[in-house]
Structure 1
Amino acid sequence: MLVVVCHDKETATWAGKPMTLTYRSWTSFTLQPLVLGPHNVPAITDPAEVLADTDAAQLWRDKMDTDLSFFRSESAQRLRAQGREQGFEQGLEQGLGQGVARSVLTVLTGRGIELSAAQRKLLADTTDVDQLNEWLLQAVTATRAGELFG
């Protein structure tokens, strides 16, 4: 949005004309500036009037009202869907890792193998599902935690 403030009507009339950008003979963009001048915004000469609910204040609120149509557009919907899909995939991977880590802990606990605080932290902090699966397979036959975590 281009807002132009003019002090006289002649300049405001000139500035209010649409500006068109073209490439060769194709119109690619037309900008209609919002022109504020003495013809459509009354001058405020009293400082107290600035705080009052005047026609000028209402005009400003109307002109500055946010256009949210982009957020309902097809492009925005595609972007949101893409973000949801990526978030779903990341959440699925993270949940899978946490589940395998719990399985390693369950197998070791069931076999009576205790983990140190450092080993528990290592297991909880590991996000590599391949590494977690390797530890799960080793937990089935291990006799001590050191066989898994070195």
Structure 2
Amino acid sequence: MPTNEHEAPIEFVRNRPDLAVRLLQDALGVSIPEHDAAELASENCTDLQPKEYRADAVVSLKRNETPVLAVVVEVQLKKDANKRFSWPVYLTTVRARLRCPAVLLVLCPTDPQTASWAAQPFSLGHPGLTLAPLVLRPDQTPVVVDQETAVAVPELAVLSAAAHGNENEKALLACAYALRALKDTTVFTLYYEFVDNALSADASRTWEALVTSRTYTFKSEFANKFLAEGEAKGKAEGKAEGKAEGKAESILAVLEARGLDASDAVRRRITACGDPDQLDTWIRRAATVTAAEDLFQ
């Protein structure tokens, strides 16, 4: 069964076909022909053969309604020797159907080892025919820390947060702003979970704090469900002290992600507080204050 880690990047491209262009140009340095439209094309890569071949996504770049380049997009999470046989089929079939050049873009959003494997050129057997896939490694994913860019291209912000969020909290903050602008709860949940699945435990707590801050007016259906699950988890643990500690960590995580320094005195006051309501108030303030000390005003 396809996982969120596999399906989410496909949806990124389906929701924003020009994302493939951005990744090819900005991350991989591929020259793209002039075009005035980027739209999805059929993912079916079967011609007259009985076996069905289907790529994850296909983007057709057009100029004056004529295809000028086809981008076959594949999401690869692990090594799969079968891809050495199916990828050439995808390219040649799409190229023949759209009557234009075709390139293969393989997304390996979180696994450098899989990316290294996918990028290895392989021979098709005929002299001179070697396929070298264009592979996006995690470290090649553009870092998005600008709020305006994140909101304009949320799919790129999500890829950025997943690839760099463990080391770059500003990427998580920018992505949180991007999710706030989404109106579709299903899309919001898919994007949120994709980032969360890619993060370490510490980074995941920071991500959770940024997303669940009540200052962010996300779709209530998701927010209420998420917060309810968090409260249920806290009750199941049966530790009020642990719950307060988690809230304190969330406050400090939000401050850090926003680039606000918390002095030792501020940290002591936050971590010493055992009042859940007071901590909730500080969590909300942490998303808007201009200085850590302003939490207590």
- The reply to whether TM is greater than 0.5 is no
Higher helix share: 1
Who wins on radius of gyration, i.e. which is larger?
1
Higher relative contact order (CA 8 A, sep 6+): 1
TM-score (norm 1): 0.39
